[in-house]
Structure 1
């Protein structure tokens, strides 16, 4: 049933090892005991096939075709390639075959664009045979332009079947296509990118790494001791939206549904089946006839018993056309109909609770409303689009709270969280939105995605890497938190989508998604005090896009996309669920050193006599993790097992239970997340709790062309065991000199080597602060540095307290 290679762990007899109360796992800046370099790092078979397709595109296929480029030399990118300028008159059922060879180069692009007239008369698009009989995601649909995403394409080959665009015109309507083009969104370099198709770090010795895990203390992160698995181990769905067999499969792996979109116009106005449809109120143009809900059953779909009490998020989108800006912005309501749209949203949510007895705990007002494709007023310079966005969110929140007070309403469900853009202009838009909605919204929500072609992020730091997994996620969340603290508007944050924008179904495509899912999950679960929910964009299955690269299961040949699990076969995405299936427990302190903080995450948890450690290595180095005794009461591990999900020699490899004979030289490959499980003969019993608290300075996104002063006030300076100052920094081309200053008159500086090599550095610097420096009112002065922006400043302080039972931890 599983068509992808799985390497099982060894079954060697375990030796009992002596394990200290303090397990050490720390980075040494030497190569002692590291393995010898392997053979030259050659391209995988997939890499060779994609290299040939890339050469075919530029050497043959694009010749004599209109094309648009940006940049110069090796930095030149192909933006758009016109496939046809033939005029096509369309009506009824539509089928358009793309030129020969299009299928071989399609995976290099992101979109197909149709240009012409009355394209709004076209329905959903099937890209046959590659979208599996379903329709692909629409990006923009206007009368003159229809842009839609290419499906997840297989590895290119010469014998691929041609691409055929299939759709249907609205009955009685026609459309005209005058041009068909591929579009890369500016991300198709003329120089072939081979990094994704090599085994990163295989040509260098493994780095020995140590990390300290403290078994004498539990860790309380602002009151949160339990891992709170229900916040972080989610998949993209609402309860009851797939066959129960898929829900049972996910539940058995301790994952639950987390979030889904409800598209008002397709679901209620067009409808997904027979029955009455929502109509415009004949007496109130632009408003919905809300008497519809007196007759409509809005009950949520039936789910398995395990998910009936699950809290989840839903997002409203595609407000009805009769109340929206014409054709643009995926149902952006007209300003004069904000109230009507709010009343519709409130009526639907209240009716769902009334008819079905339950609804989502969190409702987002409008999906990804920070970008033009979702909120039309961002196009219109005559409007203050962000003020309108806040006004609309407030209207919806007020209407929903009036009818269903228990529901939490939030937004802006942000896309493209590059908040440093336009000299932090996008960040100021976000903070203004928070300020304008502070009295109405219950949470703020955002999306984070790794871009296409971002494997080998560490090697791309100075080559345009713009993702979030090398410090940008942490710096962004710190900046938002600092502003909320400064304005006394602290609300939970929901990450309702995260993962990768990579399309395709090759091994490297799957690996980019898998390593992104795990890395985001790991980083976000380290912030239980800030994050109330995080949902990776990972599915058990998709009946509307059955061969998506984001699904754990695809239908077997000839099977229905709506069938049970028995009619499906696993993809590599299923390994994500397996990797994390039983990671749970209470938190323990951990410390790493030597390897950049942004490159290594470590989280230990324990239950009874079991210790688990999750390690995520976002560098391009292969690591050798060394476990050694330090001090403290010895414990005996009766077994050590490692669960691995990695990429090697062009294959995604999952190893479920590697039995280790000792705790030395545990292998962790580049961009790998691994889970280690230690089982001891006696129960782990931490004696006390490390209580971690956070305090933020006022001031965010502050330019440091001149000296800047920040103040952090605390009330427990005399009780602190240890402290770190965290300074978020942004600078084009990285840091050329140390970030230096004083803390209550005591000098500090930070200039890690890894910060030198960024096109756009946005990351936190962690600076140890002597507890003897601390006062209740702390003055931090940061010295000037040309081009430097201080994104936020906060203090992490730890003190020792008594052990907490689970009743007293959040």
Structure 2
């Protein structure tokens, strides 16, 4: 979508409250502030930087060593092995007996085609017993995967297992049986102490268009699977793909759509089990169209743009992420045959040096290596970084003197980015890797050396960059920010014009300072409103008109997650939220409260200038800090239309012991009776609102 950005000239605003309609993205950064997502701070590379292959030849071994990459996923398992030996699906070799000691595993996914694992009317108990026996006695320690994904994308193959044309009842009957097979295998393996290191995941959703048929797709697929097999699953497997079409409009999941899909799965997991089971994104990337039938480097690189877009979303869920596999395959030599004109498979990481000939003379990397090149050094613990624009995704990690700062442009337009507070960071070296991917020309992968961090950046559409910043000295931790997610027991709420939809969020933990968002995911027709009236504990909060990624106009419905900033002062331990739309149609699929809490006040977000400091909406809060009087003034064009001023403690309580005097274009607040501390001032007037952090000396 066409995004809207802001300038921030004085740091007196609550972090996380962008005002829309201005000019530039602001990225803020503090390498001395450690960040936790729930209990997780260290980047676990094995969750993200893998290849969709389990090869062990010379080229694979070099990749693992040179690029810090792990094995990801391979097509072989208990049922393929049984079919190979017995010649029939559902028939298994005689079971072995023996040692019951704990079996070691290798961090990769083993999966199988449904045609090797499933048939209508099969004995699922027998299948579960065979899976346990196979992984105990029929594979070597080197071959045994940590994850068993019983079938790859089974539900899209349900139609292959009954006679005649399409029949929805038959399709649902087969899908239920498939889910029951998953449940049996999961239950049997979970009950086997020798396989305690293995995890069953599923169902490997190929087409997670949850919103279709008023969320009938969700009901008939992922919800059905979770209801039948979810109890026995360690993680829920989903495939996320952008559609990249050089001849027409792209159809993307990256951005708000992928966020809404994963949020719905998490919310339903919480409803069923009072816990959020993790994700296993066993494939993700892009499906290219319009580049011809033969392999091309231009087509090959398109998926890397989408992989980076989706990766940033997955990095924000590390505490709920079991494993993810970008769809970058090995050599796929099965594809090099006469029927395919001896062309390599489009998804490969290695292509023959003699494309078009039957026997590869050697192997060289395809442009997909740029993904691993870009990220190969990134490691460490999370540190605080924040973008005020949902289309500019950010991540930052610290190890010793090294900071790894990553930015990604989800937008289809070039973006200007201001780097705030970066000039305060003393550096000795800065290496910047930039990957620019185009629809109609080969990519640009560059590496630049400098001694300081730039004050501003320009990023082209879809660009990803990673800075490796060497600090003058390793920073000591001066603060910690904890990111936590709170779920409600409501989901898939029908939207009716003028009717408030209520949500409750309990047990919310607050600290000295912070910011928060409501993650509102909605599925609606495109002509319906995306900006409801949202009330948090009786206070109205503004809903932005921007979200991650594009506008989804070429999809049948809009299905996406919109982040709604919530003043930290509005939050309490127990919270009541209402959402009211001005029109009917569609559903709120999930509403999740995301809270970022600092152990200590985040001074650069609180202390403004000693003189007047103008915020984004034409309001000024000054002086800040103040010993007694706080002035809030505003631009003349805003008028004096019945201004409303409130003051809140950091615990979220409204301060009533305060005198307020109104003058033309100004409000004077007497804070003399308040104890020293941090407060939030709020002003609403003429359809405009502003929030300011205030320190009372």
Task: Select the residue among 132, 144, 147 that pairs with 1:359.
Answer: 144
**Residue 572 in 1 paired to residue 363 in 2?**
no
Task: Select the residue among 565, 571, 593 that pairs with 1:774.
Answer: 571
Aligned to 1:714: 507
Task: Select the residue among 373, 388, 392 that pairs with 2:181.
Answer: 392
The answer to whether the 8 Å contact 2:106/2:143 transfers is no
**Closer, same or farther: CA 561–223 of 1 in aligned 2, 3 Å:** farther
Query: Relative contact order (C-alpha < 8 Å, sep 6+): which is higher?
Result: 1
Aligned-partner Cα distance in 2 for 1:618–1:453: 17
Aligned-partner Cα distance in 2 for 1:766–1:520: 17
Aligned to 2:190: 401
Give the deviation of 1:515 after TM superposition: 0.5
**Residue 243 in 1 paired to residue 57 in 2?**
yes
**Closer, same or farther: CA 333–385 of 1 in aligned 2, 3 Å:** closer
Task: Select the residue among 385, 388, 402 that pairs with 1:610.
Answer: 402
Q: Which moved more, 1:764-773 or 1:613-622?
A: 764-773
Aligned to 1:105: none
Task: Select the residue among 222, 239, 256 that pairs with 1:471.
Answer: 256
Aligned to 2:378: 583
Aligned-partner Cα distance in 1 for 2:237–2:177: 18
Give the deviation of 1:507 after TM superposition: 4.7
**Residue 745 in 1 paired to residue 538 in 2?**
yes
Instruction: Report SS of the residue matched to 1:544.
Output: helix
**Residue 287 in 1 paired to residue 287 in 2?**
no
Aligned to 1:543: 333
Aligned-partner Cα distance in 1 for 2:27–2:403: 14
Aligned to 1:450: 242
**Closer, same or farther: CA 336–651 of 1 in aligned 2, 3 Å:** closer
Q: Gapped runs of 5+ residues in structure 1?
A: 1-19, 32-206, 271-276, 301-307, 321-330, 804-810
Aligned-partner Cα distance in 1 for 2:265–2:90: 36
Aligned-partner Cα distance in 1 for 2:200–2:322: 13
Q: Which moved more, 1:662-671 or 1:510-519?
A: 662-671
- 1:468-520 C-alpha deviation (Å, 9 max, x unpaired): 11301111111111111122253221000111122653454223211112222
Aligned to 2:201: 410
Aligned to 1:797: 595
Task: Select the residue among 482, 505, 509 that pairs with 1:691.
Answer: 482
**Closer, same or farther: CA 444–454 of 1 in aligned 2, 3 Å:** farther
TM-score by length of 2: 0.73
Aligned to 1:523: 313
Aligned-partner Cα distance in 2 for 1:422–1:649: 32
Aligned to 1:317: 113
Instruction: Report SS of the residue matched to 2:522.
Output: strand
The answer to whether the 8 Å contact 1:586/1:606 transfers is yes
Aligned to 1:125: none
Give the deviation of 1:370 after TM superposition: 2.4
Q: Which moved more, 1:223-232 or 1:707-716?
A: 707-716
Aligned to 2:42: 226
Aligned to 2:277: 491
**Closer, same or farther: CA 26–615 of 1 in aligned 2, 3 Å:** farther
Give the deviation of 1:790 after TM superposition: 0.8
- 1:386-443 C-alpha deviation (Å, 9 max, x unpaired): 4323221112223333454312112111110100011101212322321222432222
Aligned-partner Cα distance in 2 for 1:604–1:745: 35
Aligned-partner Cα distance in 1 for 2:506–2:178: 34
Instruction: Report SS of the residue matched to 2:195.
Output: coil
Aligned-partner Cα distance in 2 for 1:455–1:472: 22
The answer to whether the 8 Å contact 1:646/1:652 transfers is no
Aligned to 2:86: 278
**Closer, same or farther: CA 358–573 of 1 in aligned 2, 3 Å:** closer
**Closer, same or farther: CA 524–562 of 1 in aligned 2, 3 Å:** farther
- 1:572-609 C-alpha deviation (Å, 9 max, x unpaired): 1121211111111111122212x3x1x22111111122
The answer to whether the 8 Å contact 1:208/1:665 transfers is no
- 1:516-574 C-alpha deviation (Å, 9 max, x unpaired): 122222221121011110001102422223512212211222899998xx921222112
Aligned to 2:287: 501
Give the deviation of 1:635 after TM superposition: 3.1
The answer to whether the 8 Å contact 2:481/2:596 transfers is yes
The answer to whether the 8 Å contact 2:519/2:591 transfers is yes
**Closer, same or farther: CA 487–25 of 1 in aligned 2, 3 Å:** closer
Aligned-partner Cα distance in 2 for 1:630–1:538: 35
Instruction: Report SS of the residue matched to 1:394.
Output: helix
The answer to whether the 8 Å contact 1:444/1:492 transfers is yes
Q: Which moved more, 1:646-655 or 1:612-621?
A: 646-655
Aligned-partner Cα distance in 1 for 2:530–2:240: 30
**Closer, same or farther: CA 290–453 of 1 in aligned 2, 3 Å:** farther
**Closer, same or farther: CA 500–412 of 1 in aligned 2, 3 Å:** same
Task: Select the residue among 304, 314, 324 that pairs with 1:534.
Answer: 324
The answer to whether the 8 Å contact 1:454/1:467 transfers is no
The answer to whether the 8 Å contact 1:319/1:341 transfers is no
Aligned length: 557
Aligned-partner Cα distance in 2 for 1:26–1:561: 59
Give the deviation of 1:310 after TM superposition: 4.3
Query: Root-mean-square deviation (CA), in Å?
Result: 3.5
**Residue 348 in 1 paired to residue 134 in 2?**
yes
Give the deviation of 1:670 after TM superposition: 0.7
Q: Which moved more, 1:431-440 or 1:794-803?
A: 794-803
Aligned to 1:126: none
**Closer, same or farther: CA 290–215 of 1 in aligned 2, 3 Å:** same
- 1:699-749 C-alpha deviation (Å, 9 max, x unpaired): 222111132111111242466632222211222115536221211111123
**Residue 216 in 1 paired to residue 32 in 2?**
yes
The answer to whether the 8 Å contact 1:699/1:710 transfers is yes
The answer to whether the 8 Å contact 1:445/1:495 transfers is yes
- 1:750-797 C-alpha deviation (Å, 9 max, x unpaired): 141568773532222222222222222211111133224211111111
Aligned-partner Cα distance in 2 for 1:471–1:716: 27
Instruction: Report SS of the residue matched to 1:576.
Output: helix
The answer to whether the 8 Å contact 2:427/2:451 transfers is no
Aligned-partner Cα distance in 1 for 2:41–2:530: 38
The answer to whether the 8 Å contact 2:52/2:328 transfers is yes
Give the deviation of 1:339 after TM superposition: 3.0
Aligned-partner Cα distance in 1 for 2:34–2:532: 33
Aligned-partner Cα distance in 1 for 2:180–2:530: 44
Q: Gapped runs of 5+ residues in structure 2?
A: 1-10, 337-343, 602-697
The answer to whether the 8 Å contact 2:255/2:310 transfers is no
The answer to whether the 8 Å contact 1:278/1:289 transfers is yes
The answer to whether the 8 Å contact 2:158/2:175 transfers is no
TM-score by length of 1: 0.63
The answer to whether the 8 Å contact 1:339/1:395 transfers is yes
- 1:616-663 C-alpha deviation (Å, 9 max, x unpaired): 1121111233334479xx332222222122135933234342124750
Instruction: Report SS of the residue matched to 1:575.
Output: helix
Instruction: Report SS of the residue matched to 1:343.
Output: helix
Instruction: Report SS of the residue matched to 1:652.
Output: coil
**Closer, same or farther: CA 478–318 of 1 in aligned 2, 3 Å:** closer
The answer to whether the 8 Å contact 1:689/1:802 transfers is yes
Aligned-partner Cα distance in 1 for 2:551–2:287: 27
The answer to whether the 8 Å contact 1:607/1:684 transfers is no
Give the deviation of 1:319 after TM superposition: 5.0
Aligned to 1:56: none
**Residue 420 in 1 paired to residue 211 in 2?**
yes
Aligned-partner Cα distance in 2 for 1:484–1:318: 25
